[in-house]
A and B are shown apart, each in its own frame.
Chain A
Amino acid sequence: MIEFVTRRVVQGGIVLFLVSLLTFFMINLAPGGPSSLIDMQSTAAERQARLARFGLDRPVHERYVTWLAGALRGDLGTSINQGLPVSSLLRQRIVPTVVLAATSLLLAAAFGIVLGVIAALHRDRWPDHVVSTISTLGMSIPNFWLGIVVIIVFAVNLGWLPASGSASIGRGFDLGDRIRHLILPAGVLAFSLMPNVVRVTRAALLEMMASDFVRTARAKGLVERVVLVKHTVRNAMVPVVAMLGLVATVLFSGSVVIESVFGWAGIGRLAIEAANGRDYPVILGVTLLAGAIVVGINLAVDLLYAVVDPRIRHD
């Protein structure tokens, strides 16, 4: 077990190194430059002076070595466009993103599993059709559009919920206020993630229900509820957990859009701003953080398998 985790952590380190190398060279190949240095109004002399100040007039490989040396010491550099240390930007932005992502994941998992079970139990009857219609909608409606629509309905027309931000301004910490701000963005994000969970749950459950051990359980006279909860659903969870692992990584790309629409100050928006503004150190920082999270989630998922399915062991 410890050996397994150690091996995976070392592998993760190598992956992150390769990610940084690729990202660094790719973003420097992209046309354009940091928007604070190369805006429309600046003259050639101004641009030159600014590039020199940020050391961007040096060759790419030289800059990578400098950056890597810093990163190994825990210094991810300074944002070119914002003038703040990358690590402090990431620290500021990670909490809102994790709150949003965790809530969405929880909602997607809860509703997805329940709806998936309902669909499987009523296969090819109307509840199944209703669930599959909801899933299709969730799958095909773009987030940015749904985001604006729910803002117009719930914030503008009904006035029930705030339209954006993560808390009311000038008020201290207030849990109720935070939750009210969270409902719309997390709901929209969960709605788009849920269909994956529904589909996998439904398919896994159907497969389990047709399997021998379920028939045996029924044959030995167990109540249907026990068969369903103890035997079927629990066993169907392995693919669902795998799917949740995948969904968790997709969450980050989904949050890019949702964070922009709902004015949520998270990592996703930071990533968009950095990419549009060619803020090289921030792009690298965000990519590395996202990479680390994906590596971490995959490890967590592998460990979770052992919990939901005792036959899987990491020796």
Chain B
Amino acid sequence: MHIRRFVHRLALLALLLTLGLGAASAQSADPTAVLNLATNADPTLNPWTPGAVIESNLINTVLFDQLTRYSPEDLTPSPALAVSWSAEEGGLAWVFELREGVQWSDGAPFGAHDVAFTFNDVVLNPELGAQSASQYSAIERVEIIDDLTVRFVLATPFSALPYYLASFAGIIPEHVLGSAENPLTVASFNKATPVTTGPYMVAEFVPGSYVRLVPNPLHWAGEPQLAGLVFRVIPDPNTQVAQARAGELDVVTRLSPNLATGIEATGRLEVLRQSQNLFFFVAPNHDDDRFDDVRVKQALLMAIDRQAMIDALLDGFGEVATGPVAPMLGALYNPDVRTYDYDPEAAAALLDEAGWTLGADGVRAKDGERLAFSMPTGQFGDLVPATLLVQQYWEDIGVMADVNILEWNAYIQDVVVARNYEVTVAWWSMPPTADVAPYFSCSAARTGNNIPNYCNEELDELMNAGRRALTLEDQVEAYAAMQEFLADDLPYLYLWYPDILTAKNVALQGFPEITAATAFQHAVDWYIAR
């Protein structure tokens, strides 16, 4: 990475931001405003605790600053607790310079020891099973160079490290959690008043009701501009929207498209179409040798009218996927790959060519084996209707899918853990980087996030080339080749990139639109216009 140019750009950006914010605040920030947000369940206030997922991610992003955060312009990693970083030894080590003078909310100094503790003792401790730990498996250990310098020592190159460090990777305090038998399950921290570095800190946690945050007077970027944030626990999405319309909520994230309609009519709320590096897919289980012939997978994808599904299920709030890397990644997204437009006739012809011919029962078969699949699905979001639509499309070309609807928890156990399926619809949400190895590499098949159990050494090599590439130019080149391969060989049948809808109070300013994570990483800039 061209560090000098990068730093220049950052300095300029910081200057512009300061000027912009200064002007805006002087104009109209209401210092007494309290912002009300919704969360669907009681959060766990520790970013690494197993199970701290959707209900906890955004509040933890506000509470726990990370080494890096996404730039609101183009999602590149920008300084947070770290001010600069560079790769060494050809990408086998990364050195991060930490910000000076940062304090925890209890007044204790923040430093390299906290970063080393977070990674060495928590994330990389296999006995704890920390949330998302597998994403950091390339890290061997974190070394303390001095109080404000750490060095990430890697087992294999991992050029996306600064991106992953901005992805729900909050630093936790060693002086509070270091002595705990299990730093991930300290109830007085996770469920009460944790010690944090973010612009707001917890004042009150009422289980089942709300978590109230107040400005952290010790925050390194100065005090934020709201009198507080309240995360209300509201499990029912209909109630969340009703409350937003009634004026009791200012931000509702992960809004489903059918609830978004008409919400702007009140004049108080606006709907943001945010993006995320997230794709929905049909996973073919590659343990099944019928998927050895890529033509089968290509035909199955061509038989699905994805645009029609987006229109029906998402009210059009989405885009047909060409691979796992979403267009929001800009230069890293390669649009020039093989695409599969809806064409049931071509799909049928391709299956004929592959030897799968229509049998008397209307189902294709080859050498006595039928093209019929078990297709379990889970009760979550739009998965069930999406599965039923795919089943219909496949029936049109003589492919049978036996759909079995499972309760969500049972689905995860059966399909994700036990891989007991032949095809299934699901999604992956990833950091905004083209490094998608955790979902595709041979090492993640059967045990990790490679649900389709796909393994191809050529692909592994292409992904590793991306992990070794330290300049943007090299990454663009490496990942373009990877995306071509992924579109040709279809480890997953890519469905769509959904828009991530967020409803927010029109008076709420300084709220980056690009992704929800980015917006919450910049909570210090939020204010309510008077």
Q: Which of A37, A45, A47, A93 contacts B208 (CB 8 A)?
A: A93
Given A31-B410, A38-B417, A49 and B243 touching (CB < 8 A)? no
Is A43 touching B447 in the complex (CB atoms < 8 A)? yes
Q: Provide the bound-state CA to CA distance between A269 and B41, in Å.
A: 10
Chain B residues within an 8 Å CB radius of A172 = none
Q: Which of A83, A151, A169 contacts B185 (CB 8 A)?
A: A83
Chain A residues within an 8 Å CB radius of B128 = 49, 53
Segment at the B interface, from A6-14, A212-220, A273-281: A273-281
Q: Which of A34, A163, A270, A272 contacts B242 (CB 8 A)?
A: A163
Is A84 touching B191 in the complex (CB atoms < 8 A)? yes
Q: Provide the bound-state CA to CA distance between A96 and B51, in Å.
A: 26
Q: Which of B49, B410, B448 contacts A32 (CB 8 A)?
A: B410
Q: Which of B50, B238, B245, B426 contacts A40 (CB 8 A)?
A: B426
Interface check A36, CB cutoff 8 A = yes
Interface check A41, CB cutoff 8 A = yes
A40, A53, A89: most-surrounded residue (chain B CB, <10 A): A40
Chain B residues within an 8 Å CB radius of A159 = 246-247
Chain A residues within an 8 Å CB radius of B185 = 83
For A150, give the chain B residue with the smallest CB separation.
B242
CB distance from B2 to the nearest CB of A (A): 33
Interface check A260, CB cutoff 8 A = yes
Given A84-B187, A263-B232, A92 and B208 touching (CB < 8 A)? yes
Is A260 touching B448 in the complex (CB atoms < 8 A)? no
Interface check B76, CB cutoff 8 A = no
Interface check B210, CB cutoff 8 A = yes
For A80, give the chain B residue with the smallest CB separation.
B51
Q: Which residues in chain B, 91-136, are within 8 Å of chain A measured between CB atoms?
A: 126-134
Interface check B364, CB cutoff 8 A = no
Is A260 touching B235 in the complex (CB atoms < 8 A)? yes
Q: Which residues in chain B, 384-415, are within 8 Å of chain A measured between CB atoms?
A: 406-410, 412-414
Is B207 touching A92 in the complex (CB atoms < 8 A)? yes
What mask results when residues 408 to 449 of chain B are scored 1 for a CB within 8 Å of chain A, else 0?
Answer: 111011101100000000100000000000000000101111
Interface check A44, CB cutoff 8 A = yes
Chain A residues within an 8 Å CB radius of B129 = 37, 42, 45-50, 53
Chain A residues within an 8 Å CB radius of B235 = 260, 263, 269, 272-273
Is B426 touching A36 in the complex (CB atoms < 8 A)? no
Chain B residues within an 8 Å CB radius of A38 = 409, 412-413, 417
Interface residue total, chain A, C-beta cutoff 8 A: 60
Given A42-B129, A261-B236, A261-B239, A37 and B412 touching (CB < 8 A)? no
Interface check B234, CB cutoff 8 A = yes
Q: Which of A35, A85, A165, A166 contacts B51 (CB 8 A)?
A: A35
Is A40 touching B134 in the complex (CB atoms < 8 A)? no
Q: Provide the bound-state CA to CA distance between A33 and B411, in Å.
A: 10
Chain A residues within an 8 Å CB radius of B127 = 49, 52-53
Given A265-B206, A265-B208, A36 and B49 touching (CB < 8 A)? yes
Q: Which of A43, A83, A165 contacts B187 (CB 8 A)?
A: A83
Interface check B374, CB cutoff 8 A = no
Q: Provide the bound-state CA to CA distance between A270 and B239, in Å.
A: 18
Given A39-B53, A163-B243, A164-B234, A270 and B208 touching (CB < 8 A)? yes
Chain A residues within an 8 Å CB radius of B426 = 40
Interface check A5, CB cutoff 8 A = no
Q: Provide the bound-state CA to CA distance between A260 and B41, in Å.
A: 10
Chain A residues within an 8 Å CB radius of B488 = none
Is A151 touching B239 in the complex (CB atoms < 8 A)? yes
Is B248 touching A83 in the complex (CB atoms < 8 A)? no
CB distance from A170 to the nearest CB of B (A): 7
Chain B residues within an 8 Å CB radius of A85 = 187
For B52, give the chain A residue with the smallest CB separation.
A36
Q: Provide the bound-state CA to CA distance between A44 and B447, in Å.
A: 5
For A145, give the chain B residue with the smallest CB separation.
B238
Q: Which residues in chain A, 32-84, are within 8 Å of chain B measured between CB atoms?
A: 32-50, 52-53, 81-84
Is B50 touching A163 in the complex (CB atoms < 8 A)? no
CB distance from A6 to the nearest CB of B (A): 37
Q: Provide the bound-state CA to CA distance between A124 and B249, in Å.
A: 49
Interface check A262, CB cutoff 8 A = yes
For A262, give the chain B residue with the smallest CB separation.
B239
Interface check A266, CB cutoff 8 A = yes
Q: Which residues in chain B, 24-48, are within 8 Å of chain A measured between CB atoms?
A: 34, 41-42, 44
Q: Which residues in chain A, 133-190, are within 8 Å of chain B measured between CB atoms?
A: 144, 147-148, 151-152, 155-156, 159, 162-166, 169-170
Is B239 touching A163 in the complex (CB atoms < 8 A)? yes
Chain A residues within an 8 Å CB radius of B247 = 159
Given A32-B412, A46-B129, A46-B133, A53 and B182 touching (CB < 8 A)? yes
Chain A residues within an 8 Å CB radius of B132 = 41
Chain A residues within an 8 Å CB radius of B448 = 43-44
Chain A residues within an 8 Å CB radius of B207 = 82, 84, 89, 92-93, 265
Q: Which of B41, B49, B407, B409 contacts A33 (CB 8 A)?
A: B409
Q: Which residues in chain B, 199-232, are within 8 Å of chain A measured between CB atoms?
A: 206-210, 212, 230, 232
Chain B residues within an 8 Å CB radius of A53 = 127-129, 182
Chain B residues within an 8 Å CB radius of A89 = 207
Chain B residues within an 8 Å CB radius of A44 = 417, 446-448
What mask results when residues 257 to 298 of chain A are scored 1 for a CB within 8 Å of chain B, else 0?
Answer: 000111101100110110011100000000000000000000
Q: Provide the bound-state CA to CA distance between A43 and B439, in Å.
A: 11
Chain B residues within an 8 Å CB radius of A229 = none
Chain B residues within an 8 Å CB radius of A26 = none
Q: Provide the bound-state CA to CA distance between A155 and B212, in Å.
A: 23
Given A40-B426, A84-B191, A262-B239, A45 and B246 touching (CB < 8 A)? no
CB distance from B446 to the nearest CB of A (A): 8
Interface check A30, CB cutoff 8 A = yes
Given A35-B51, A84-B187, A84-B191, A166 and B413 touching (CB < 8 A)? no
B34, B129, B207, B447: most-surrounded residue (chain A CB, <10 A): B129
CB distance from A283 to the nearest CB of B (A): 12
Chain B residues within an 8 Å CB radius of A266 = 208
For B192, give the chain A residue with the smallest CB separation.
A84
Given A165-B232, A266-B208, A31 and B409 touching (CB < 8 A)? yes
What mask results when residues 22 to 33 of chain A are scored 1 for a CB within 8 Å of chain B, else 0?
Answer: 000000001111
For B413, give the chain A residue with the smallest CB separation.
A32
Is A83 touching B234 in the complex (CB atoms < 8 A)? no
Is B447 touching A155 in the complex (CB atoms < 8 A)? no
For B230, give the chain A residue with the smallest CB separation.
A169
Is A276 touching B187 in the complex (CB atoms < 8 A)? no
CB distance from A86 to the nearest CB of B (A): 12
A33, A85, A96, A151: most-surrounded residue (chain B CB, <10 A): A151
Q: Provide the bound-state CA to CA distance between A89 and B238, in Å.
A: 26
Taking A47-B417, A152-B245, A165-B232 as given, write out 18 further A-B residue pairs in contact, using a Cβ cutoff of 8 Å, ordered by the A residue number.
Answer: A31-B406, A31-B413, A35-B412, A38-B409, A41-B449, A44-B446, A45-B447, A53-B182, A81-B51, A83-B185, A83-B187, A92-B207, A93-B208, A155-B248, A163-B243, A164-B243, A263-B232, A265-B208
6 residue pairs, one from A and one from B, having the closest CB atoms: A36-B51, A265-B208, A32-B409, A49-B129, A31-B410, A44-B447
B positions within 8 Å CB-CB of A: 34, 41-42, 44, 49-53, 126-134, 182, 185-187, 190-191, 206-210, 212, 230, 232-236, 238-239, 242-243, 245-248, 406-410, 412-414, 416-417, 426, 444, 446-449
11 A-B residue pairings within 8 Å (CB atoms)? A32-B409, A37-B51, A39-B51, A43-B134, A53-B129, A83-B49, A84-B191, A89-B207, A165-B209, A265-B209, A269-B208
